[in-house]
Amino acid sequence: MKDRLIDIKNLVKHFDISGGLLEQLAVSKGRIIRKQTVVRAVNDVSLFVNPGETLSVVGESGCGKSTLARTLLGLYQPDGGEIYYRGDRIDGLTQKEMLPYRAKMQMIFQDPYASLNPRMTVQQTLEEPVVFHNPSISGSEVKDRVAGVMQQVGVDPAWTDRYPHEFSGGQRQRISIARALMVDPEFVVADEPVSALDVSVQAQILNLLMDAQEQRGLTYLFITHDLSVVRHISSRVAVMYLGRVCELAPTTNLFESPGHPYTRALLSAIPDLYDRRHKYIKLKGEVPTPIDLPSGCVFHGRCPYADGRCSREIPALNHQGKAVYVACHAVEEGRI
């Protein structure tokens, strides 16, 4: 276990959105009751990340992938489970105890228009993390480092005095990546880093991310809904549905022989440029909300292979050999 960079065990994160006491009142069968509304964003998720790899977490909106990433980075306090960084437990640490890990784990965000403080120049944005983590660093050293990183992400270092609104979306995303690289992290969480970008710019950013990984030996946790991107850049993939991991497998295995029925449906839905008019697996019904989770396997209501057991019993993420894990009774029983 020591050789894992990140190890997440049975992570749970719920959000109570019921508001104040008065907001919780509701009427049911003629009686006034107190109703609490809880979004079960992440339920019992176990995952690990090996050093140097790119693990992608994919899923549709509301599946809890962003919450998972933010909980992992300590932006949310988990409601259960454990998080380890190189064997050290890092959930529940105080602000101060967390600091050494903050320099090692960084994040890149989705929206290049919201992820940079509009009132700070590029210089100020990039300086802040370095100076914060190395208070003794000299001014000229900081300047050199800023220039170096800007060079690497492909933004002209002469533009450090500019404000974010003077840059295009792609350039901002480069600056956002630069900010994450400033503290020399070893682990970077990228939350939909190319979803808001146009195709031609998306390719630039993906190349930049792959280059940075190669040069700095970075480990990525890549959150996205775009399966073609996943296939291109990741070594392993975790598929999430309604707050649970339903399949975890090396990329080639996942795309060539998906195990979980949801993964199959998801993969079949990607339009392929060269395979016009291919058939996709149609799922019945609608995605349930994470507020009222179905019993048993969260996917059973839409699954073509579901039986009685699926609606009662939550399937465990089982090892299927060759680093493939699937959480499905039907796969386990060999029905599919």
Partner 1 sequence: MGHLLEVKDLEVKFALRMGDLTAINGVSFTLDRGERLGLVGESGAGKSVTGFAIINLISKPGYISGGTVIFDGRDLTGLTGEGMRHIRGNLISMIFQDPMMTLNPVLTIGTQMVETLQAHMNISRKAAEKIALEKLRMVQIPSPEKRLQQYPHEFSGGMRQRIVVAIALLADPALIIADEPTTALDVTIQAEIMELLLELCESEGTGLILITHDLAVVSQVTQKIAVMYAGKVVEAGLTEDIIDNPLHPYTQGLIKALPDGRNPGTRLNQIPGVMPSLIDIPPGCSFHPRCTIRGDICRYESPVLREIPGYRNMAACHMLGLKKEPTEKDRAE
Partner 2 sequence: MFAFAVRRITQAIIVMLVIGLLGFSIKQKIGDPVRDIVGVSVSVAERDALREKLGLNDPFLTQYVRFIKNAVHGDLGMSFFFKRPTLEVILSKAPATLELVFASSLIIILLSIPLGIYTAINPRNLPSRIIMGGSIVGVSIPVFLTAIILIYIFAVELHWLPSYGRGETVNIWGWESGFLTLDGLRHLLLPSIALSSIMLPLFIRLIRSEMMETLETEYVKFAWAKGLSRWRIWFLHAFKNTLLPVITVGGVQLGILIAYTILTETVFQWQGMGFMFLEAVERSDTSLLVAYIIVVGALFVVVNTIVDIIYGLVNPTVRITGRK
Partner 3 sequence: MKQWERFKNSYFLHSFKHDWVAIVCFVVLLILILLSILAPVIAPHNPYDTASTDIMNAEMPPSWMEDGNPDFVLGTDIQGRDLLSTMLYGLRLSVMIGCGAVALQAIIGIFIGMISGYMGGKVDAFLMRIADVQLSFSTLMVAIMISAIFQVAFGVGRYEQLAVPLLVLIIGLAEWPQYARTVRASVLGERNKEYVEAARVIGLSPARIRWRHILPNTMSPVLVISTIQVANAVMSEAALSFLGLGMPITKPSLGSLINSGFEYIFSGSWWITLFPGILLVVFVLVINLLGDWLRDVLNPKLYKG
Partner from partner 2, partner 1, partner 3, none contacting 107, C-beta within 5 to 8 A by type: partner 3
Per CB under 8 A, which of residues 163..192 are in contact with partner 2?
Answer: none
Cα distances (Å, whole numbers) of residue 65 to 103, 244, 329, 334: 23, 9, 23, 28
168 near partner 3, rule: CB under 8 A: no
Interacting residues with partner 1 between 286 and 315 (CB under 8 A): 286-287
How far apart, in Å, are the Cα atoms of 161 and each of 75, 115, 131, 155, 156?
A: 30, 18, 17, 12, 11
Handedness of CA 127, 114, 198, 274 (dihedral sign): positive
CB of 10 to partner 2, least distance (A): 32
Q: By C-beta, is 32 or 199 nearer to partner 2?
A: 32
Smaller CB separation from partner 3, 59 or 129 = 129
Work out what residue 158 binds among partner 3, partner 2, partner 1, none; the CB cut-off runs from 5 to 8 Å by kind: none
User: 244-250 and 187-191 as β-strands: parallel, antiparallel, unpaired?
Assistant: unpaired
Which of 203, 291, 307, 312 forms a contact with partner 1 (CB under 8 A)? 203
**Nearest C-alpha neighbor of 281 from the set 301, 266, 293, 291:** 266
The DSSP bridge pattern shows strands 31-34 and 25-28 to be: antiparallel
Q: Using alpha carbons only, how large is the chain's radius of gyration in Å? A: 22
* Contact (CB, 8 A) for 81 and 11: yes
Task: Choose, by CB under 8 A, the member of 4, 9, 133, 216 that binds partner 3.
Answer: 133
Helix, strand, coil percentages (3-state) for the chain, rounded to 5, are: 35, 25, 45
Candidate list 27, 32, 118, 276; residue touching partner 3; CB under 8 A: 118
Select from 104, 70, 58 the least CA-distant residue to 260: 58
Contact residue for partner 3 among 36, 117, 168, 215 (CB under 8 A): 117
CA triple 232-238-239, angle to 5 deg? 100
Given the complex with partner 2, which of 22 and 158 has the nearer CB atom? 22
Letters for 232-261 (x = contact with partner 1 by CB under 8 A, - = none) are xx-----------------x---x------
| Residue numbers 267-306 binding partner 3 by CB under 8 A | none
Contacting range for partner 1; rule: CB under 8 A; set: 5-13, 32-40, 280-288, 317-325: 280-288
**Residue 204 interacts with partner 1 (CB under 8 A): yes or no:** yes
Strands 6-16 and 80-85: antiparallel
Name the H helices within the chain: 21-24, 65-72, 95-102, 122-133, 139-153, 169-181, 199-216, 227-233, 251-256, 261-268, 308-312, 329-332
Regarding 25 and contact with partner 2 (CB under 8 A), the answer is yes
Q: Which residues bind partner 3 (CB under 8 A)?
A: 20, 70, 73, 75, 95, 98-99, 102-103, 105-107, 109-111, 114-119, 128-129, 132-133, 161, 176, 179, 183
Residues that bind partner 1 (CB under 8 A): 60-61, 168-170, 198-204, 206-207, 210-211, 225, 227-229, 231-233, 251, 255, 265-266, 268-274, 276-278, 280, 282-283, 286-287
